[in-house]
Amino acid sequence: MMKMTLNLLFNILFGFKKTFDIVLENLALRQQLATMKRSAKRPQLRASDRLFWIILSRFLSNWRQVLIVVKPETVVRWHKKGFKLFWRFKSRRKGPGRPPISSEIRDLVRRIAKANPLWGAPRIHGELLKLGIETPNERCPI
């Protein structure tokens, strides 16, 4: 009984997948036809056309066979370029840089470092905290 139920379930799922692939293929061909009608000689692809092919390549298994207007390698290149742009945007600088530190604190840190050459940045930072001086960074501002 369980085997029959699983077979029925797989047939339903794979049947919908075939129908879904046919619908996506039809959509891809219509999009290419619209692109070809838009221009007289060479098809001019818009950003929306590129985005369409990038998204379609994720959902349609045989998207390379359906593609006529551009080479499949071009779609892969668009996808990589979009990925690079996304991560460049995510890792951009969020502010103008490190917060400024007053010259008095900087001079004090230099005096402490000169007077105690065996102390490292964490120890100097701890001494500044004991004095009630908070630095905006976790590291000691030397």
| Calpha distance 2→34 (Å, rounded) | 48
Domain residue spans of the chain: 2-90, 101-142
Question: Considering only CA atoms, which of 65, 67, 140 is closest in space to residue 108?
Answer: 140
Q: Write out pLDDT tens, residues 52-88.
A: 878 877 877 777 777 777 788 888 888 889 889 999 9
Q: Are residues 142 and 128 in contact, defined by beta-carbon separation less than 8 angstroms?
A: no
More confident call, 64 vs 129:
129
Note the Cα 128 to chain centre separation in Å: 40
| Calpha distance 78→41 (Å, rounded) | 23
pTM of the model: 0.39
Q: Are residues 56 and 28 in contact, defined by beta-carbon separation less than 8 angstroms?
A: yes
